[in-house]
């Protein structure tokens, strides 16, 4: 699994969820490719290479996992900004949330998310879901934007 | 001249080979003679016993000469040292000969004659023993010098060399002739010694050998010349050299035999010679004539070829192997535009488009390697920059000897041909595109009717291929019943060459037939000869079908027109009846109505109006309002007409009813006197369908009496208005309160929504964490944890799951209050059947008797009612779990304004004292260990029924079962169904 250039951006405010996600990804040795940001603003800083990430030189992530409920800027807003930016709209986005609200799901698909996953309470299911997503986007699927948007 | 290089070389090599053979022969003879001397064998010394012997010194000299010649073959790369050795050998032979001659001339004996061998036998001869003859010595000296000069370069040296050789040859020949003819004088010249027979033979051969050693030099060049002079020479020379001797020999032998005398012999000899040489000359002349004639022909051919090249329309260009142009004909000038003067000595470069340079290079290299180049098409640039298509034929040009010296290139301008080809291809492509693009099937047939071509549509439709279809194969896709008629018509068309047209079915790839209109037109050339048939099949199935349908529709339509006309007539009658009714209705209205056009002409009037105004209908209909009702001319203040006009103008302008102030308008009685009257008129517009004002309804009320009494009434009305104002204020206040509480309610709703959203997200997260981490904990410590700890972990996990279930239920409960109801007609029976059908397997296997009585349809929200039924029935199933024979009964009773449903079971029941608690949120009457559940189901049922405007209640006895009731409002229309 030689994918050192392929990266997963995980935007998640709950430290416990971060931990669980990383453990799940660890099962497939993908954890060291995960970039964790703790709110929507940081996620956007990372994607736009600004603020703390102004010096970032590596490629854009191959997939972005977004929690919906986050401080500062929520996941739906990050999704909206990404999908309306021609440089970022081709990066697959997966909404991962504990919300079962219909309106969140509808809103996410309206904004163009690539997948919507309700975090299962059952840990085993969560592992499988994240594993599938992680495997699918980071390993199996070739990113459509390989080496493309260079915002510098 | 068909002598090529190889033949020419081999021809020279024959001479050189002869020279080499001679040199070897000379060496061998010399060696044999020395052996003869050594072993005293006379045969070897003189060939014929008793004759002169070849002396040992002569033999040695011959060996030297032979070696010297043998070492110098005609080749440019002879080793320098070998050449030197050869020359030293020649000089050695010359030295021996010279010393021998000195002995003869000075009469001294230098005592080297018998150095090799003693010579006792030659005591009889005139020369001292062992010494070679003086002629022999001289000849050896001559040949030695000739060999020494073998590779001389200057003409003079070549002349000397050949003079020496020819002299030696002549001397040898004389000696040889002497032996042949038995003339002692000839080989024993100058009395002293005689040239031995082997020496004589060797001299002749060696002389020829020296000449042949360098066959291209001096006199030999004439002999070896490849031209016909050389050929002649080579043919004649052996004859000239040998014949006279042979004839002479025969003459001599005849004379010696005494057959004839000297005179006769000489005559014979002369005659023979004349004959032979005359024949030889004649033969040569004949050959020369043939050759000359050939040459003339060739010259003519060459001139002819040149003329062809010059006058050719094709460009014929000669080039050398470096690609430089050596010839350029008129055709080339015509095609490329460059005159010969500009092109000869140049390369082809400027004619060739840069991308085709490689092509030219590869051709040159192929030609150089002797590979023949196939004709090819390419493009060239003309002087005027035009690019033309050319066809090029390249061949190698060879010289007489067959060496490739260049290329000849014939280029033909094929632009016109290419253009025609392209046009043809395009038109063919167009034709194919067209016939394949058109929706019809298309085909072509020979004049005799055999079909030889079909378009793609034909094959697509019939599912056949061209092999099946060629000739008369098309018959296979026809309806066998129709086929004889089709064939008959087609054959008639072929015979008369008239266009063919017929409708018949064709079988498609799926085996079904569709109808096609088939047309075939004969295609003739300008002279009217039939070339082929061109045919199309147009699918007319749909058209036929459509025509059939249209026909049916037409019939139906006609029927309907008749029916509708009858209906219309009936309606018309009804309408006119109702119009009359309406008219009389209007006229008998109790109010005072006048219907006016916009021009204020009276259209209609109510009887009451006529009565009030003391007029008659027939007198006013169709007349102008003001003409009928003018102002009272005696009343100077009358404003009736102008006010009414203004009001009607407002109606027309605004399109809205206009109420006029009370109007004094006096009425003229039939007797002409005006009566004082007061009116309260209102004018209303009547719109046509196009929203145009069509009529104006003028309604009036006669308020004459009221106006005359109004001063007395004014005081009472003040009290009334005060009361009214107070009431209005109260209403305003209470509506404000309502508005405020509405806003509060809305805010609370929003808050609740935000709260439940937050519950959904935030309450769930910690549970997920508990579950997740406890699972990791268990996984990582599976081997360490004892069974008790494992159990605790399971309990934590289950607790988290239960909590999650509670949250879900709570959320669905809260959602229930927020979701809008969607009323529709619902069959409760269906909902129950659906529930039973989808029971979980465990429940299904239980012994439950379902008693479902017929239930009425209700008007309610389907999703919510499904939840009510599911909750009540699953509760009933759950609480009858402990019964051996569970019985669940559902029924309904229709009352005056509502319908009451009940669900009855014979399960564990409940204490009536807690009946109200049943429906509270999270309220339970049983332990979770006994009966699982969160206590939200019945709370939901109550909410839903309440929202539908119904009630819920329950009756039960501990251990005897329970009955749950719910009612729904029941409307009259439901009862009818």
pLDDT per residue over B150-182, tens digit each?
Answer: 887 788 888 888 888 889 888 888 888 888 877
| Residue contact B773–A100, C-beta within 8 A | no
Using an 8 Å CB-CB cutoff, list chain B residues near A74: none
CA dist., res. B202 & res. B31, Å (int):
13
Residue B965 pLDDT more than 90? yes
- B772 falls in which pLDDT band (50, 70, 90)? confident
Q: Looking at chain A, which residue has its C-alpha nearest residue B760?
A: A99
CA dist., res. B406 & res. B656, Å (int):
111
Using an 8 Å CB-CB cutoff, list chain B residues near A102: none
| Residue contact A121–B765, C-beta within 8 A | no
Residue A19 pLDDT more than 50? yes
Q: Looking at chain A, which residue has its C-alpha nearest residue B766?
A: A16
- B839 falls in which pLDDT band (50, 70, 90)? confident
Provide the residue count of chain B. Answer: 977
Residue A37 pLDDT more than 70? yes
CA dist., res. B660 & res. B644, Å (int):
8
Residue B4 pLDDT more than 50? no
First to last CA, chain B: 125
| Residue contact A97–B765, C-beta within 8 A | no
Read off the tokens for B610.
């006529």
Higher pLDDT, B357 or B718: B357
B293 touches chain A (CB under 8 A): no
Q: What is the CA radius of gyration of chain B?
A: 73
pLDDT of amino acid A30? 65
Express each pLDDT in B870-903 by its tens digit. 889 988 988 888 888 889 999 999 888 889 999 9
Q: How far is B817 from chain A (nearest CA, A)?
A: 16
- A136 falls in which pLDDT band (50, 70, 90)? low
| Residue contact B768–A124, C-beta within 8 A | no
Which burial class, exposed, middle or buried, applies to B857 when counting CB atoms under 10 A from its CB (0-12, 13-18, 19+)? middle
pLDDT of amino acid B190? 47
pLDDT of amino acid B740? 78
Using an 8 Å CB-CB cutoff, list chain A residues near B764: 98, 119, 121
| Residue contact B772–A126, C-beta within 8 A | yes
| Residue contact B772–A14, C-beta within 8 A | no
- B594 falls in which pLDDT band (50, 70, 90)? confident
Average pLDDT over residues B452-478: 84
Average pLDDT over residues B43-67: 82
Residue of A121, A122, A128, A130 to mutate, testing the B interface (most B Cβ within 10 Å of its Cβ) = A121
Return the minimum-mean-pLDDT range out of B158-167, B510-519, B670-679.
Answer: B670-679
How is residue B601 annotated by DSSP?
B
Return the minimum-mean-pLDDT range out of A107-111, A134-138, B573-577.
Answer: A134-138
Read off the tokens for B573.
């009658």
Return the minimum-mean-pLDDT range out of B197-211, B253-267, B381-395, B803-817.
Answer: B803-817
Average pLDDT over residues B70-75: 82
pLDDT of amino acid A147? 43
pLDDT of amino acid B717? 56
Q: How far is B775 from chain A (nearest CA, A)?
A: 7
pLDDT of amino acid B379? 85
Average pLDDT, chain B: 82
- A120 falls in which pLDDT band (50, 70, 90)? low
CA dist., res. B228 & res. B249, Å (int):
32
Taking a contact as any Cβ pair under 8 Å apart, which residues of chain B between 744 and 783 contact chain A? 757, 760-762, 764-769, 771-776
Contact A76, A68 (CB under 8 A): yes
Q: How far is B791 from chain A (nearest CA, A)?
A: 17
Share of chain B above pLDDT 70, in %: 93
For residue B231, which phi and psi values (nearest 5 degrees)? -60, -50
Residue B595, strand partner residues: B604, B697
Residue B759 pLDDT more than 70? no
Taking a contact as any Cβ pair under 8 Å apart, which residues of chain B between 565 and 594 contact chain A? none
Helix (H, G, I), strand (E, B) or coil at B7: helix
B801 touches chain A (CB under 8 A): yes
pTM of this structure: 0.36
Average pLDDT over residues A65-73: 85
Out of A23, A98, A124, name the one closest to residue B761 (CB).
A98
Residue B788 pLDDT more than 90? no
Share of chain B above pLDDT 90, in %: 3
Average pLDDT over residues B927-944: 79
Contact B939, B872 (CB under 8 A): no
- B977 falls in which pLDDT band (50, 70, 90)? very low
Residue A146 pLDDT more than 70? no
pLDDT of amino acid B711? 45
Average pLDDT over residues B242-267: 83
Number of H helices, E strands in chain A: 5, 5
Q: How far is A19 from chain B (nearest CA, A)?
A: 9
| Residue contact B761–A121, C-beta within 8 A | no
pLDDT of amino acid B718? 55
pLDDT of amino acid B735? 74
| Residue contact B768–A17, C-beta within 8 A | yes
Using an 8 Å CB-CB cutoff, list chain B residues near A123: 768, 771-776
Residue B188 pLDDT more than 70? no
Q: How many CB pairs under 8 A join A and B?
A: 56
pLDDT of amino acid A29? 67
Q: Looking at chain B, which residue has its C-alpha nearest residue A103?
A: B757
H-run or E-run covering B886: strand B886-894
CA dist., res. B407 & res. B373, Å (int):
11
Return the minimum-mean-pLDDT range out of B153-157, B617-621, B662-666, B787-791.
Answer: B662-666
Q: How far is B799 from chain A (nearest CA, A)?
A: 12
Q: Looking at chain A, which residue has its C-alpha nearest residue B753?
A: A101
Question: Considering only CB atoms, which residues of chain A are within 8 Å of chain B?
Answer: 14, 16-17, 19-20, 23, 68-69, 97-101, 119-124, 126
Average pLDDT over residues B282-310: 85
Helix (H, G, I), strand (E, B) or coil at B830: helix
B360's CB contacts (< 8 A; 6+ apart) are B323, B348, B352
Express each pLDDT in B789-817 by its tens digit. 888 888 888 888 888 887 877 777 777 77
Return the minimum-mean-pLDDT range out of A127-141, B331-345, B931-945.
Answer: A127-141
- A123 falls in which pLDDT band (50, 70, 90)? low
pLDDT of amino acid B901? 93
Higher pLDDT, B627 or B951: B951
Q: How far is A39 from chain B (nearest CA, A)?
A: 16
Average pLDDT over residues B615-620: 83
- B471 falls in which pLDDT band (50, 70, 90)? confident
B611-619 long-range contacts (CB < 8 A, ≥24 apart) are: B612/B667, B612/B700, B612/B702, B613/B667, B614/B667, B614/B668, B614/B669, B614/B670, B617/B587
CA dist., res. A41 & res. B974, Å (int):
58
CA dist., res. B201 & res. B189, Å (int):
16
Q: Looking at chain A, which residue has its C-alpha nearest residue B815?
A: A101
Q: Please report the ipTM that was assigned to this predicted complex.
A: 0.70
pLDDT of amino acid A3? 41
pLDDT of amino acid A78? 92
Strand stretches in B736-852, DSSP E: 823-827, 848-852
- B966 falls in which pLDDT band (50, 70, 90)? very high
Higher pLDDT, B702 or B184: B702
Helix (H, G, I), strand (E, B) or coil at B448: coil
For residue B967, which phi and psi values (nearest 5 degrees)? -120, 155
Q: Looking at chain A, which residue has its C-alpha nearest residue B797?
A: A122
pLDDT of amino acid B716? 52
| Residue contact B760–A100, C-beta within 8 A | yes
CA dist., res. B162 & res. B913, Å (int):
162
Out of B762, B771, B811, name the one closest to residue A122 (CB).
B771
Which burial class, exposed, middle or buried, applies to B166 when counting CB atoms under 10 A from its CB (0-12, 13-18, 19+)? middle
Most confident of B21-35, B62-76, B225-239, B351-365: B21-35
Using an 8 Å CB-CB cutoff, list chain A residues near B772: 16, 20, 123, 126
Q: What is the CA radius of gyration of chain A?
A: 14
Average pLDDT over residues B302-330: 84
CA dist., res. B752 & res. B810, Å (int):
12
CA dist., res. B745 & res. B738, Å (int):
10
């Amino acid at each position: 699994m030689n994918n050192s250039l392929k990266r997963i951006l995980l935007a998640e405010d709950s430290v416990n969820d971060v931990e669980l996600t990383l453990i799940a990804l660890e099962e497939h040795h993908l954890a060291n490719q995960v970039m964790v940001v703790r709110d929507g603003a940081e996620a956007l800083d990372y994607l736009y290479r600004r603020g703390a990430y102004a010096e970032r030189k590596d490629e854009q992530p191959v997939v972005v996992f977004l929690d919906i409920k986050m401080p500062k800027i929520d996941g739906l807003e990050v999704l909206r900004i990404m999908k309306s930016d021609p440089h970022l709209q081709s990066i697959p986005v997966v909404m991962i949330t504990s919300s079962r609200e219909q309106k969140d799901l509808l809103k996410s698909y309206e904004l163009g998310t690539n997948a919507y996953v309700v975090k299962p309470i059952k840990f085993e299911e969560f592992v499988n879901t994240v594993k599938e997503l992680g495997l699918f986007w980071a390993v199996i699927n070739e990113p459509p934007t390989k080496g493309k948007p260079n915002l510098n | 001249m068909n002598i090529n290089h190889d033949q020419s070389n081999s021809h020279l090599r024959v001479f050189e080979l002869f020279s080499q053979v001679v040199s070897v022969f000379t060496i061998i003879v010399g060696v044999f003679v020395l052996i003869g001397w050594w072993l005293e064998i006379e045969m070897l010394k003189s060939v014929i016993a008793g004759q002169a012997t070849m002396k040992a010194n002569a033999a040695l000299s011959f060996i030297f000469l032979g070696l010297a010649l043998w070492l110098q073959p005609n080749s440019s790369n002879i080793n320098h040292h070998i050449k030197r050795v050869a020359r030293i050998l020649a000089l050695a032979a010359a030295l021996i000969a010279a010393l021998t001659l000195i002995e003869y001339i000075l009469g001294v004996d230098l005592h080297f004659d018998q150095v090799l061998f003693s010579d006792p036998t030659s005591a009889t001869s005139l020369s001292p023993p062992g010494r070679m003859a003086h002629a022999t010595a001289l000849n050896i000296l001559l040949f030695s010098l000739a060999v020494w000069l073998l590779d001389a370069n200057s003409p003079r040296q070549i002349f000397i060399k050949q003079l020496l050789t020819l002299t030696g040859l002549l001397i040898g020949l004389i000696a040889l002739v002497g032996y042949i003819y038995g003339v002692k004088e000839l080989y024993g010249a100058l009395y002293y010694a005689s040239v031995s027979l082997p020496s004589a033979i060797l001299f002749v051969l060696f002389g020829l050998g020296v000449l042949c050693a360098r066959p291209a030099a001096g006199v030999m060049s004439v002999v070896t010349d490849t031209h016909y002079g050389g050929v002649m020479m080579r043919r004649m020379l052996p004859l000239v050299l040998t014949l006279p001797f042979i004839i002479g020999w025969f003459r001599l032998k005849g004379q010696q035999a005494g057959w004839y005398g000297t005179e006769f012999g000489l005559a014979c000899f002369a005659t023979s010679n004349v004959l032979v040489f005359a024949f030889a000359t004649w033969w040569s002349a004949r050959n020369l004539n043939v050759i000359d004639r050939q040459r003339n022909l060739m010259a003519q051919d060459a001139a002819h070829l040149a003329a062809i090249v010059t006058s050719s329309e094709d460009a014929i260009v000669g080039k050398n192997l470096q690609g430089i142009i050596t010839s350029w004909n008129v055709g080339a000038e015509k095609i490329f535009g460059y005159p010969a003067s500009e092109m000869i000595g140049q390369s082809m470069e400027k004619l060739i488009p840069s991308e085709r340079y490689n092509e030219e290079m590869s051709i040159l290299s192929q030609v150089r390697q002797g590979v023949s180049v196939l004709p090819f098409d390419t493009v060239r640039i003309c002087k005027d920059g035009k690019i033309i298509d050319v066809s090029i034929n390249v061949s190698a040009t060879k010289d007489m000897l067959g060496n490739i010296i260049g290329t000849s290139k014939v280029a033909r301008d094929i632009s016109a041909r290419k253009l025609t080809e392209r046009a043809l291809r395009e038109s063919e492509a167009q034709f194919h595109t067209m016939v394949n693009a058109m929706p019809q099937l298309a085909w072509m047939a020979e004049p005799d009717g055999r079909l030889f071509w079909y378009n793609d549509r034909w094959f697509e439709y019939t599912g056949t291929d061209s092999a099946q279809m060629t000739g008369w194969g098309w018959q296979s896709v026809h309806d066998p019943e129709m086929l004889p008629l089709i064939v008959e018509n087609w054959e008639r068309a072929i015979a008369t060459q008239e266009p063919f047209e017929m409708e018949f079915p064709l079988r498609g790839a799926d085996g079904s037939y569709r109808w096609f209109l088939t047309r075939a037109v004969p295609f003739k050339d300008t002279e009217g000869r039939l070339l082929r048939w061109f045919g199309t099949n147009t699918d007319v199935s749909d058209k036929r079908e459509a025509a059939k349908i249209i026909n049916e529709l037409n019939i139906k339509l006609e029927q309907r027109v008749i029916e509708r006309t009858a209906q219309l007539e009936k309606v018309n009658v009804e309408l006119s009846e109702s119009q009359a009714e309406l008219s009389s209705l209007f006229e008998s209205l109790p109010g005072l109505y006048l219907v006016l056009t916009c021009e204020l002409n009276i259209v209609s009037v109510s009887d009451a109006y006529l009565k009030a105004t003391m007029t008659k209908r027939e007198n006013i209909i169709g007349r102008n309002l003001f003409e009928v009702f003018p102002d009272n001319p005696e009343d100077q203040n009358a404003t009736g007409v102008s006010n009414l006009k203004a009001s009607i103008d407002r109606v027309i302008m605004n399109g809205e009813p206009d109420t006029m102030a009370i109007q004094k308008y006096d009425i003229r009685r039939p007797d002409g006197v005006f009566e004082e009257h007061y009116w309260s008129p209102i004018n209303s517009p009547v719109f046509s369908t196009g929203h145009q004002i069509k009529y104006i309804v003028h309604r009036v009320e006669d308020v004459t009496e009221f106006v005359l009494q109004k001063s007395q009434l004014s005081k009472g009305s003040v009290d009334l208005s005060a009361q009214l104002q107070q009431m209005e204020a109260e209403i305003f206040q209470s509506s404000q309160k309502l508005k405020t509480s509405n806003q509060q309610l809305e805010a609370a709703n929003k808050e609740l929504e935000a709260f439940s959203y937050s519950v959904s997200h935030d309450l769930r997260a910690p549970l997920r964490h508990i579950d997740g981490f406890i699972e990791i904990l268990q996984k990582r410590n599976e081997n360490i944890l004892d069974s008790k700890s494992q159990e605790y972990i399971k309990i934590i996990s289950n607790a988290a799951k239960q909590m999650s279930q509670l949250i879900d239920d709570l959320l669905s409960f809260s959602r229930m209050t927020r979701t809008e109801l969607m009323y529709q007609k619902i069959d409760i029976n269906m909902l129950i059947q659906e529930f039973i059908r989808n029971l979980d397997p465990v429940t299904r296997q239980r012994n439950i008797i379902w008693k479902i009585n017929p239930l009425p349809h209700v008007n309610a929200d389907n999703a919510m009612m499904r939840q009510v039924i599911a909750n009540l029935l699953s509760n009933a199933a759950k609480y009858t779990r402990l019964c051996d024979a569970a019985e669940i009964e559902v029924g309904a009773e229709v009352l005056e304004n509502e319908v009451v449903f009940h669900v009855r079971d014979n399960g564990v029941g409940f204490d009536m004292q807690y009946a109200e608690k049943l429906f509270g949120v999270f309220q339970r009457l049983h332990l979770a260990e006994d009966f699982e559940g969160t206590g939200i189901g019945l709370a939901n049922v109550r909410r839903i029924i309440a929202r539908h405007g119904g009630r819920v209640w329950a009756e039960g006895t501990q251990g005897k079962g329970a009955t749950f009731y719910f009612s729904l409002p029941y409307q009259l229309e439901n009862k009818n169904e």
